[in-house]
Amino acid sequence: MVDIPPDIKWFARLYLQETKYIRPDLLDLLRRNVIENYNSLVEYGEIFEKEGNENYLDAFKRQDLNFMYGWGKYQIERANRRNPLPSNVKVKHELNESMRGNWIDVPEADQDHVVMYIHGGAYVAGSIDALLLPYRVAKATGVRLINVHYGLAPRHPFPEGLDYVFRAYKWLLNDFKP
């Protein structure tokens, strides 16, 4: 069983509120994830403060948008460094009037079909820069994958994020059949 260090119990409470419903093996995974998230919070907090910003814990507790976006971006970059894609995987940025995203091509990918991948985050979090899960989907399906960017709330209020996704889908229909 993974134990949460006493000095980060306040942080763990944010994530581990209803643990009685979680299987023990998944609870250990969740506890490890909490410790990793806390470590990334401290690492990014030091960067945040060196840039002349306020105390990072104050910014975190207030859910300051600039801090939260910066920390989210830092977590993605950190994950990409720890889990780099294989060198034979091609990532190409797509930018046009209808959409923005990343094409992910695995070796021997079927070029006639495409998976439209929309990262999770309920239109308020996430990024197309998180590449590991979309890569795994592309590898498992054996086809090209487009990881679609969409605007995140609150900077892009509902339904803007959904509109981004719908435009991307319509754009893909011009070249691919569903």
Q: How confident is the model over 150-178, as a mean pLDDT?
A: 83
Q: Is 80 exceeded by the pLDDT of residue 4?
A: no
Q: What is the pLDDT of residues 113-139, one digit of tens each?
A: 898 988 877 766 777 788 888 899 999
User: How is residue 1 written in tokens?
Assistant: 């069983």
The pLDDT-based confidence of 88 (bands split at 50, 70, 90) is very high
Residue (of 91, 178, 101, 104) closest to 136 by Cα position: 104
Q: 32 — alpha (psi -120 to 50), left (phi > 0) or beta?
A: alpha
In this structure, of 10-24, 36-50, 141-155, the range with the lowest mean pLDDT score is 10-24
Q: What is the pLDDT of residues 18-39, one digit of tens each?
A: 666 777 777 777 778 788 888 8
Q: How confident is the model over 37-63, as a mean pLDDT?
A: 87
Q: Got the DSSP string for 77-110?
A: HHHHHHSPPPTT-EEEEEE-SS-EEEEEE-TT-E
On whether the CB atoms of residues 129 and 73 are closer than 8 A, the answer is: yes
- Of residues 6 and 15, the one with the higher pLDDT is 6
Q: 108 — alpha (psi -120 to 50), left (phi > 0) or beta?
A: left
- Of residues 45 and 27, the one with the higher pLDDT is 45
The pLDDT-based confidence of 140 (bands split at 50, 70, 90) is very high
- Of residues 176 and 52, the one with the higher pLDDT is 52
Q: How far is CA 26 from CA 15, 30, 53, 78, 115, in A?
A: 13, 6, 36, 23, 29
Residue (of 136, 147, 133) closest to 95 by Cα position: 147
Residue ranges of alpha helices (H) inside 120-176 are 132-141, 160-173
**Domain residue spans in the chain?**
6-82, 90-173
Q: Is 70 exceeded by the pLDDT of residue 1?
A: no
Residue 110 pairs in a beta bridge with 143
Residue 104 pairs in a beta bridge with 91, 145
